[in-house]
Structure 1
Amino acid sequence: MSRTAIGLLGGSFNPPHSGHRALVRHAMKRLHLRGMRVLVSPQNPLKSAGDYAPLEERIAATREMMRGLPNVRVEPEAAEGPTFAVDSIAKRVLREPHTDFIYVMGADSFAGLHRWRRWQALMEMVPIAVVSRPGFRLEALQSPAARAFAKAQVPERLALTLHRRTAPAWCFLTGLDREESSTAIRAREDPSKFGMESAT
């Protein structure tokens, strides 16, 4: 099967960690992607602006974390935040109308997708791959997004066909159960490294 789709993975990457790298490798293998664009968000609108290390530092650290992975490109999701995924993905789809995109997210993010701005529009814009995370399988599969788009779920055995499907279409990918968390790393490290006044 030819590799035709480009994966899009967004996030704060504050900081990036080996779980992010593992997720990229897992998604590229399971979906047979020809490339992945890792989009570093200036600011998640659901989080405080004071919790972030500078964007350029996070981009540099993410590029270092992804070093050596073929066809993986790290770039800013936008020049400044807050950033809404539905807007940044729409711009890429319009800019590259002949490219098949798959939006990749962790199961924890999918579980809370209904809190995102115009999340239904995002579901209807591009196919979505939801990658397993420990403790979030049931929460993701029983989430408002999963229930609202139950008929659009693609069986995991057909994951390689996801890029050829018209959105809404989403697939839950098992096989990756990494415990790493940027939040946990920030709690352990010096808060000043991540632009925080405290470790809360």
Structure 2
Amino acid sequence: MRLPLRAGMSVGLLGGSFDPTHQGHVHLTRMALTRFALDRVVWLVSPGNPLKSRGPASLEDRMDRAKALMKDPRVLISDYESRIGTRYTAETLSSLQTSFAGVRFVWLMGADNLHQFHRWDRWQQIFQSVPIGVLARPGWRQSALHSRAARQFRQYRLSGRASHLLAQMPPPAWCFVNMPMVPVSSTDIRKQGAWRS
């Protein structure tokens, strides 16, 4: 399915294994739509995370659960990375920007991902290619804001009060926003045995 995106839209991209999707993903997405003034958010359900040794549940199961849980019509659930054969965010962004010229993409992530962002393949290229919206996660604020990536790109940080301008900013640009927390994670759900392996 081709993503129904058009030039002029501000579109957030939330990538991950979604293994499984939970209310934290839903809450983060709704906050991102509001705080970053986005028209759409695309959940990029990945074939697998190169930084994790254990493979996720089947892509079909993860897509089905995501669609069942995220009912907002502004949110699109996509297996784009599987269809184009990418595993790395830098490649995915390059493909999306080529395929959807004129769409203003914003990469979305939780603070826990900013903390270890320097481990991502071509992470500096990602910062240079799209604005990045970072949303608070329980227990990660300080380590994220003192991370290698945050320090290296500190002069490009937009204040939380100006978060609605992020999609209009030329990269590199990033913004950290606080939000009410939902204390749930995919890792905890899998540990509790509440999700198929």
Name the TM-score, length of structure 2 as normaliser.
Answer: 0.91
Partner of 2:123: 119
Q: Which residue of 1 aligns with 2:75?
A: 72
Cα drift, residue 179 of structure 1 = 1.2
Q: Is the 8 A contact 1:154 1:170 kept in 2?
A: yes
Structure-2 change in CA distance of 1:33 and 1:62 (3 Å): same
SS at match of 2:129: coil
Q: Distance in 2 between matches of 1:82 and 1:8?
A: 15
1:171-190 alignment runs, 5 A limit: 171-189=175-193
Match among 25, 33, 37 for residue 32 of structure 1: 37
* 1:16 aligned onto 2:28: no
Q: Which structure 2 residues correspond to residues 64-143 of structure 1 after superposition, within 5 A?
A: 64-67=68-71, 69-79=72-82, 83-143=87-147
SS at match of 2:68: helix
Q: How far apart are 1:82 and its partner, in Å?
A: 7.0
Equivalence for 2:4: none
Q: Is the 8 A contact 1:43 1:82 kept in 2?
A: no
Amino acid across the alignment from 1:75: S
The 3 A distance-change label for structure 1 pair 175 and 64 is same
CA-atom RMSD, angstroms? 1.6
Give the counterpart letter for 2:18 in structure 1. Answer: F
Which consecutive unaligned segments of at least 5 residues does structure 2 have?
1-7
Give the total of aligned pairs: 189
Contact 1:10 1:77 in 2 (8 A): no
